[in-house]
Amino acid sequence: MISKKTLFLVIILIFLLLPNVSLSFPKKFSSHINSLNKRNDRKVYNLTITNKKMAPDGFTRKMFVINDKFPGPLIEVNKGDTLVLDVKNDCDDVTTMHAHGFFQRGTPWYDGVPGQTQCDIQSKKSFTYEFQVNQSGTFWYHSHSKAQYIEGIVGALIVHDPDDPYLKNKDYDEEIVVLLQDWYHTDSKTLLATFLSPESAGNEPTPDNGLINGMNSYNCSGAPNGSDCVSDAPLANFKFVQGKKYRIRIINTSAFAAFIFSIDNHPMDVIEVEGMITQRRTIHRLPINIAQRYSVIVTADKPIGKYWMRSEMETACFAIQSDTLNPLVKAIVEYEGSDANSNASSTAWTDSQETCVDLDTSTLKPYEAQTIPDADYKLTLNVSFQPDDKNVTRGFINNSSYVDPNSPTLLKVYENKTTFDSNRNAYIIDKDKVVDIILYNTDTGDHPFHLHGHVFWVLGIGINGTSPDYNSVNTKDPIQRDTVTAPAGGWFIIRFVSNNPGVWGFHCHIEWHVQSGLVAQFVTQPDKIKELKSPDDWSNLCKN
Ligand SMILES: *[C@@H]1O[C@H](CO)[C@@H](O)[C@H](O)[C@H]1NC(C)=O
Ligand SMILES: *[C@@H]1O[C@H](CO)[C@@H](O)[C@H](O)[C@H]1NC(C)=O
Ligand SMILES: *[C@@H]1O[C@H](CO)[C@@H](O)[C@H](O)[C@H]1NC(C)=O
Ligand SMILES: *[C@@H]1O[C@H](CO)[C@@H](O)[C@H](O)[C@H]1NC(C)=O
Ligand SMILES: *[C@@H]1O[C@H](CO)[C@@H](O)[C@H](O)[C@H]1NC(C)=O
Ligand SMILES: *[C@@H]1O[C@H](CO)[C@@H](O)[C@H](O)[C@H]1NC(C)=O
Ligand SMILES: *[C@@H]1O[C@H](CO)[C@@H](O)[C@H](O)[C@H]1NC(C)=O
Ligand SMILES: *[C@@H]1O[C@H](CO)[C@@H](O)[C@H](O)[C@H]1NC(C)=O
Ligand SMILES: *[C@@H]1O[C@H](CO)[C@@H](O)[C@H](O)[C@H]1NC(C)=O
Ligand SMILES: *[C@@H]1O[C@H](CO)[C@@H](O)[C@H](O)[C@H]1NC(C)=O
Ligand SMILES: *[C@@H]1O[C@H](CO)[C@@H](O)[C@H](O)[C@H]1NC(C)=O
Ligand SMILES: *[C@@H]1O[C@H](CO)[C@@H](O)[C@H](O)[C@H]1NC(C)=O
Ligand SMILES: [Cu+2]
């Protein structure tokens, strides 16, 4: 037995010898857990958006890039900092920037949603977002205009917290950010025009590939004749040092596809869901739906070598199957000291995971016990897909398909408007309330719903054939998050405290469904909104 004192000294020694910079690759995705000493700092990021031809998976196409990069730069701040995003729009199109998962308390005009919280940033114009970050965890940022985020205007946004219990306990040594997404070879305008026509019958475009940190290979024999395409493009490569423990932050930025994430031979302990710290739970294969994020701790305790990181696209839930899509997206986890010429030969975990079913979050528990307030306002919403009067299949919330207005809702609030056209799907919550949303999904597909400006408790989720029942939901120890999946034919009940004055989007995060109207918004405490002084450069965006 080693005495406690010796153990303590050994730990101190190990700590002193540890380099405090992580070595994972690609370099722009290594997240630093040092520099946590400075709090209440002002961190400025310039984000210049341009169009560029690139080949993330070997297939060249015109897309968007931020600062000439894809995915965009890794943004890192500490809890308590003020984050400044200086967005310069140098592309041909209008744009906006949304920091996904942030409360924007006191700055609702910086939430970045055209039609709801701001007017678009015109081509060759700039706009500065500035907000206090009073949360921590794994987030992302993306354009909220059209379908731009699926064509490159996307990046990871990490908020470090010096008081994170897992960090304080030295439960991990380094961090790695893993951005998962699906990828299309055709531009989104073309795909949208097809999708929003009667001929599609509501069937979403099938992705051509998936990417991990913007990389994957593609078999060009599936590409149309005349394409500029190179097979066997390199995969993302993550470096492990044997004996170290890694916090892997997994972000799903898909437009459509859900994935099951795993690393061969390496179990993962879930410790965070969308900024909320959870108790450890070991899992081998992690389903992650669009816009969802998890942190897992992985210990590099296996023999030195190369292992596959897998992100399996759940094609079984696609409306249309593709012959050329390889649904198994891979990256390499390479231990330091591996034979450079060897290839990974590891085999996948075999734990069964039901297809097209999101992680059962009732198995996750919050790190600290919470008291859940009772609801004083219950809102029932019914999601459906139906043909509209032009026979285009659109998404409906309570029989109303959202249409983007010319003037954003938040501006109308400042103009003292209190009622909104029915196709804005605006629900007004005039007082500080505890709100339950009981959502029925009558559609045959899953829908990952995201609420802006809040986290909510996931009280219950039910599959097709069950009905919401307050006697069986969890009001004792549910987790909080900001994106939850409504199963096909099923329902969910979520609860949030509506004490953040602003206009907050509530929408399915499948980009095709956003475009087809599966969108609502909460107008929270309009009187309190008007007490907040909105900046002139914000209202000036609408003077065009
Ligand atoms: C951002 O761009 C401005 C000029 O537009 C420059 O002065 C500044 O140094 C840049 N800041 C960063 C953090 O790159
Ligand atoms: C920051 O978060 C803490 C804890 O959640 C809360 O008590 C405080 O009011 C928040 N401050 C602001 C400015 O949002
Ligand atoms: C509407 O579109 C569907 C799918 O393309 C088609 O089968 C149906 O005949 C159309 N109905 C009408 C009334 O045009
Ligand atoms: C690429 O696809 C073609 C046609 O399906 C197939 O014959 C070929 O083996 C594939 N190449 C690789 C490297 O998988
Ligand atoms: C591509 O070109 C080849 C050879 O010219 C031809 O056989 C094939 O049919 C073409 N495929 C398509 C999809 O046009
Ligand atoms: C990301 O979300 C999409 C859409 O729901 C899903 O199909 C995909 O499997 C998810 N990715 C992962 C890694 O879970
Ligand atoms: C590793 O894979 C590459 C590409 O698939 C192949 O060219 C190479 O021969 C393989 N190397 C070994 C040692 O198997
Ligand atoms: C939506 O429709 C359901 C029934 O279809 C109804 O019970 C509910 O009150 C409606 N919600 C709103 C906010 O009108
Ligand atoms: C939801 O809407 C669908 C289609 O309009 C309808 O058939 C169904 O009864 C509604 N469900 C509820 C619970 O209101
Ligand atoms: C939905 O709206 C359509 C067209 O406005 C109407 O014909 C239909 O009866 C409505 N359905 C319900 C369940 O309210
Ligand atoms: C809105 O109402 C307030 C108070 O009633 C008034 O002072 C303000 O001028 C009004 N604003 C507009 C744009 O009408
Ligand atoms: C729900 O299950 C029933 C019975 O199996 C089936 O007929 C129906 O299509 C399902 N509904 C959805 C939306 O998947
Ligand atoms: Cu959806």
Q: What is the DSSP track for 181-230?
A: EEE-SS-HHHHHHHHTSGGGTTPPPPPSEEEETTB----GGGSPTT--B-
Cα radius of gyration rounded to whole Å, the chain: 23
CA distance 474 to 477: 7
pLDDT, tens only, 352-392: 655 545 567 778 899 999 999 999 999 999 999 999 999 99
| Residue whose structure tokens are 């060897």 | 342
Q: What is the pLDDT of residues 473-501, one digit of tens each?
A: 999 999 999 999 999 999 999 999 999 99
- The pLDDT value recorded for residue 23 is 27
Q: Which ligand is nearest to the CA of 386?
A: 9
- Do residues 348 and 310 lie in contact, with contact meaning Cβ atoms separated by under 8 Å? yes
Q: According to the model, what pLDDT value does residue 68 have?
A: 97
Q: How far is the CA of 14 from the centre of ligand 2 (A)?
A: 36
* pLDDT over 90 at 10, yes or no: no
d(CA 259, CA 261): 6
CB atoms within 10 A of CB 194: 13
Ligand 2, atom 2: nearest CA belongs to which residue?
Answer: 134
**Cβ of residue 225 lying under 6 Å from some atom of ligand 5:** yes
Query: Ligand 6 pocket: which of 178, 180, 508 to mutate (most atoms <8 Å of CB)?
Result: 180
Q: Is 105 in the pocket of ligand 2 (CB under 6 A)?
A: yes
pLDDT of residue 326: 79
Asked if residue 26 has a cis previous peptide bond (ω within 30° of 0), the answer is yes
Question: Which residue lies with its CA nearest to atom 6 of ligand 11?
Answer: 416
222 Cα to the center of ligand 5, angstroms: 11
Ligand 3 pocket residue status of 201, Cβ below 6 Å: yes
Mutate to test the pocket of ligand 2, among 134, 159, 368, 455 (most ligand atoms within 8 A of CB): 134
Atom number, ligand 5, closest to the C-alpha of residue 225: 1
> Is 70 exceeded by the pLDDT of residue 317?
no
Whether ligand 7 lies within 6 angstroms of the CB of 339 is answered as: no
Question: Which residue's CA is the nearest one to ligand 5's atom 11?
Answer: 225
Name the residue among 291, 295, 24 with its Cα closest to residue 176: 24
| pLDDT given for residue 143 in this prediction | 96
Q: Write out the two tokens for 458.
A: 């996931």
Ligand with an atom nearest the CA of residue 42: 1
415 lines ligand 11 (CB under 6 A): yes
More confident residue, 30 or 163: 163
Residue 26: its pLDDT value, please?
35
Residue ranges lining ligand 1, Cβ < 6 Å: 44, 46, 86
> Binning pLDDT at 50, 70 and 90, where does residue 298 land?
very high
Cα-to-centroid distance, 37 and ligand 6 (Å)? 35
Mean pLDDT of the chain: 89
> Which range is least confidently modeled, 196-205, 227-236, 353-362?
353-362
pLDDT at 354 (0 to 100): 53
> Looking at residue 20, what is its pLDDT?
33
- What pLDDT shows up at residue 352? 66
Element (H, E) at 538: helix 536-540
Ligand at minimal distance from the CA of 447 is: 13
Is residue 391 in contact with ligand 3, taking CB distance under 6 Å? Answer: yes
Pairing of strands 328-335, 237-240: parallel
Q: Which domains does the chain have, with CATH numbers?
A: 20-161 (2.60.40.420), 177-363 (2.60.40.420), 377-541 (2.60.40.420)
- Most confidently modeled of 143-147, 301-305, 418-422? 301-305
> How large is the average pLDDT for residues 319-325?
71
| C-beta of 370 in contact with ligand 2 (< 6 A) | no
What residue's CA is closest to ligand 4, atom 13? 219
What pLDDT digit, counting tens, does each position of 62-113 carry?
999 999 999 999 999 999 999 999 999 999 999 999 999 999 999 999 999 9
pTM of the model: 0.87
Ligand 11 centroid vs 196 CA: distance in angstroms?
40
Distance 230 CA to ligand 13 centre (A): 33
Look at residues 513, 374, 533 and name the one whose alpha carbon lies nearest to residue 441. 513
The strand order across the sheet containing 126-132 reads 61-66, 42-54, 82-89, 126-132
Angle at 499 between CA 497 and CA 505, to 5 degrees: 80
Ligand 2 and 134: CB distance under 6 A: yes
CA of 342 to the centre of ligand 7 (A): 7
pLDDT value of residue 291: 64
121 secondary structure, DSSP code: B
| 252-266, 277-291, 458-472, range with greatest mean pLDDT | 458-472
Decide: 419 in ligand 4 pocket, CB within 6 A: no
Q: With 50 as the cut, is the pLDDT of residue 21 above it?
A: no
Contact 271, 293 (CB under 8 A): no
